[in-house]
Chains A and B, each alone.
Chain A
Amino acid sequence: MIRIANGQGFWGDWLEAPARLVEQGPIDYLALDYLAEITMSILQKQKETDPNLGYARDFPPLIAQIQRRLIERDVKVIANAGGVNPIACAREVRRLAPSLKVAVVTGDDVFGRLDEFLAAGHEMKNMDTGEPLSAIRDRILSANAYIGAFPLAEALGAGADVVIAGRCTDTALSLAPMIHRFGWKPDDFDKLAAGTIAGHIVECGAQCTGGNCQVHWESIPDMANIGYPIIEADHDGRFSITKHEGTGGRVTVDIVKEQLLYELGDPKNYITPDCVADFTSIQLKDAGPDRVQVSGIRGAARPAMLKLSIAYSYGWKAIGTLVYSAPQALEKSKAADRIVRQRLQQLGLKFEEIYTEFFGVNACHGPVAVPNPDPPEVQLRIGVRGQDRKAVDRFTRELIPLVLSGPPTGTGFGEGRPPVREVVAYWPALIPRELIQTSVEVVD
């Protein structure tokens, strides 16, 4: 049996979690997930400014902080902290933690190969809209193939203490140690599916140990010290989900079910580079305090195509707010919204969308929200999106004047004008897997 912990559900997750997982009980592997689709484009921009950047900058100092414990307890780390510059990330880890052996997995970054793919007839159509990639070719900011767990397992096989990857799947981080330690092969479909589903359960960190949980959420103990998840994996594909003793949170069948359904599409066809997992085969059992046993998982062969994550510059947006108090808070907010829209129209400004929400009334649940006849206050929130940066910038100057020139009791303008933000959009596409060659390199 091996213990694989996940200490980071996204870049920006609880900073204390990884160190606590190493300190508070036994684990063999620490998986850390740093990449969301949007993250890659941000990192690409950082790399263009400085060729030594482009990775998750929280990661090297974290490894420096926990390096002694990693060695004492023989814990290996697998992370996709490399972003668009895994080599630079590895060098920084080596500089701060020279006694650790660091390996990088590369080959996912295809930013420089897109024209080669297009010339060879690969259209890389948007999986949602069907548009060919050529439509946005000159606006692309980053392009990466999702790679699977086998190259990460190869890096563990090379004796790495720390494995750094770029855009691998989140589930690969947890599956890789199982492939490495149990010798699973690409045609061990059921076992790979089991490891993939284990990875899916823990990939959002504490979301499977009581975080964001609707079942008796008020009674979940000590959420300030919530335990992050641990997979106890067996060679035959069975595993348990648990957390360190004495930590906060809760692990039950209900909670694991919620996380299994999170960001799920067709449950019979959960496609990864390693296998296709069948979520309708999963059997769950409560097996003691804060422990859920998982078994029965079936899978099928890996797909012929890999998914590409392509980010491109789409346009600009800004979102501004004002607050109106009772009485008639909603009516005042609606009047202010009408004034802003009329002024934008009088200026002749064109936007792709102007969107208004009323916080305290309908922002989260829209038309489904339960009516609240006289809320004590309402926050008006207006957003615009468009291709013309100047128009978006002009919009940001139209809210604060209403405090003096609009309906009464307008307040909440202390933050000043809202910032104009670039909209980086995401373009999902497919590419034949044989075009993506990964390699593993030990960094000295």
Chain B
Amino acid sequence: MKIPLSRVAHARSGDKGDTSNIGIIAFDPRHYPILVREATAERVKHFFGEMVKGNVERFELPNLGALNFLLHVALGGGGTLSLRIDAQGKTLGAALLRMEIEIASGELS
């Protein structure tokens, strides 16, 4: 069964130069393994498509039930160079929550 990531996680995003950082956090820590399994670096890179010119790194924070993604070369030059309205990637966390993930029936109960 497909659900959007927003069913199981919330997010906050920011920047470091031309790198966007997106943290996603499981509402229920028991669902953290779903994030680890479904929200892989490859899928996040594929989801954003042409927006992310560099690679995507993923870091795990099991103590917070959270994953941290670094999206490299993703902000049109970043900081002051970027011509984008969202030069700091503040809205990219909300965008990622639309990504569809696959769960087994009953996995959320």
Contact = CB atoms under 8 A, between A and B. Distances in A.
Contacts of A317: 81, 83
Interface stretch (A55-63, A151-159, A162-170, A356-364): A356-364
B95 A368 contact: yes
B61 interface: yes
A254 B84 contact: no
Interface in B33-52: 47-51
Interface in A302-320: 314, 317, 319
A150 interface: no
Contacts of A284: 64
Contacts of A359: 85
Contacts of A314: 80-81
A359 B85 CA distance: 9
B101 interface: no
Contacts of B17: 128, 426, 428
A288 interface: no
A258 B81 CA distance: 27
A72 interface: no
Interface string B17-33: 11001010101000000
Contacts of A281: 63
A365 B95 contact: yes
A265 B70 contact: yes
Given A212-B12, A254-B25, A284-B64, A266 B59 contact: yes
Nearest to A382: B83
A128 to B, nearest CB: 6
A364 B76 CA distance: 12
A381 interface: yes
B61 A265 contact: no
Contacts of A128: 17-18
Mostly helix, strand, loop or mixed at chain B's interface? Answer: mixed
A280 B63 contact: yes
B81 A385 contact: yes
B83 A353 contact: yes
A207 to B, nearest CB: 8
Contacts of B18: 128
Interface string A20-36: 00000000000000000
Interface residues of A, number: 50
A14 interface: no
Contact of A364 (B68, B83, B86): B86
A258 B62 contact: no
Interface in B57-109: 59-66, 68, 70, 76-77, 79-81, 83-86, 90-95, 97-98
Contacts of A384: 83
A367 B98 CA distance: 12
A281 B62 CA distance: 9
A98 B33 CA distance: 58
A433 to B, nearest CB: 21
Interface string A338-364: 000000000000000101010100011
A279 B23 CA distance: 13
B86 A264 contact: no
B12 to A, nearest CB: 4
A378 B80 CA distance: 25
B11 interface: yes
A262 interface: yes
Given A259-B12, A368-B48, A363 B63 contact: no
Contacts of B59: 266-268
Contacts of A254: 10, 25, 27
Given A264-B23, A280-B62, A367 B49 contact: yes
A259 B25 CA distance: 11
A367 B45 CA distance: 13
Contacts of B81: 314, 317, 385, 423, 425
B11 A257 contact: no
B21 A425 contact: no
Contacts of B63: 280-283, 296
B85 A257 contact: no
14 contacts: A214-B11, A215-B10, A254-B27, A261-B66, A263-B21, A267-B61, A357-B84, A365-B94, A367-B48, A367-B49, A367-B50, A368-B49, A383-B83, A385-B83
Would you list the 5 A-B pairs with minimal beta carbon distance, nearest first? A261-B23, A383-B83, A355-B83, A263-B14, A258-B12
Interface of A: 37-38, 128, 212, 214-215, 254, 257-268, 279-284, 296, 314, 317, 319, 353, 355, 357, 359, 363-370, 381, 383-385, 423-426, 428
